[in-house]
Amino acid sequence: MIIKKNVGYMESILRVILGTFIVALGIYFDSYWGFIGLIPVFSGAVSFCPVYRYMNISTLNPNLEREN
């Protein structure tokens, strides 16, 4: 299976920031729920969201998007 990017640049940055915030809250409150924050961090880092793939959604802007 080839992972084709389907998350745009700004959305990937927001996912990493939000995921990092969730992980930090999990650490602060000493809760295992902070591990859920790793999901948006990973999907933002690789610019791929499996839910978007199954729903055929892409937030990429083909004219302004970065290269692999």
Mean pLDDT of the chain: 90
| pLDDT for 27 beyond 80 | yes
pLDDT at 67: 55
- Please count the helices (runs of H) and the strands (runs of E) in the chain: 3, 0
In whole angstroms, give the CA distance from residue 16 to residue 39. Answer: 9
pLDDT at 35: 96
In one-letter notation, the amino acid at residue 28 is Y
pTM of the entire predicted model: 0.83
Higher pLDDT, 24 or 3: 24
Instruction: Give the model confidence (pLDDT) of 10-22 as tens digits.
Output: 999 999 999 999 9
